[in-house]
Amino acid sequence: MNDIRLPVPYFAQWESAHLVPEFVNGTLRAEDDPAWAAWGSETPDEYAFWAGRTCGVACLRMVLAYRDGSAPAPALITRECVEAGAYVIEDDGVRGLIYAPFAEYVRARWNLAAIVHPQMTLPEVTATVVSGRPVMISVHGSIRYPAGQPAGKGGHLVLVVGYVDDHFLVHNPSGLPGISQEFFRISADDLEGYFAGRGVVLAP
């Protein structure tokens, strides 16, 4: 199978990608991100509420930037996803990303092919990305620590942007800089431990 590395730009969930370790471990509050306003929010509190929850928005922005050369502000996409039913605000937080309304929103708003795969295998992910289409897949957030053990499957979204030397290349919106953030290499055996077996193909 031919190797491929799609030149997809990277976006973190937080505006200051270099500070992701501090946001994740709680040593720095999201509302103290010095670049919070670039997210498009009106207040630091709004930014802090959403930034850690919008891995899917970050993945969509990557694909839009790949196609168009730029991407809208995360706040705009997040608000529109709420209106579309892809995120549902509840008393105890946010439910989502909900694939079906998200895919419908992506197709209608951004004229971008979005195909939901409620059941998907890693060989199917491989074939899809090798064909030139990025794949947003559900994995566990502990994938950001590649030297550790998977803490579960699913609950976090990353974008598969390549397949080289029998390894997937992944953009992780909550990855660690220089370790698991952009073009992060991971084998199928290792990825299987995090992968929930579902995803969305996003084709520019």
pLDDT, tens digit, for every residue of 87-138?
A: 999 888 899 899 999 999 999 999 999 999 999 999 999 999 999 999 999 9
Q: pLDDT band at residue 146, thresholds of 50, 70 and 90? A: confident
- Of 105, 126, 102, 93, the residue nearest 4 (C-alpha): 126
Query: Residue 203: which residues within 8 A CB-CB, separation 6 or more?
Result: 112, 113, 114, 115, 133, 134
What is the pLDDT at residue 144? 96
Which two tokens mark 113? Answer: 């092919």
Q: pLDDT band at residue 204, thresholds of 50, 70 and 90? A: confident
Position 18 pLDDT exceeds 70: yes
- Of 138, 87, 140, 134, the residue nearest 112 (C-alpha): 134
Q: The domain at 4-203 falls in which architecture?
A: Alpha-Beta Complex (3.90)
Task: Give the mean model confidence (pLDDT) for residues 142-153.
Answer: 92
What is the pLDDT at residue 128? 97
Max alpha carbon distance in the chain (Å)?
48
What is the pLDDT at residue 5? 97
Sorted by where each begins, the domain ranges of the chain are: 4-203
Percent of the chain having pLDDT more than 90?
Answer: 93
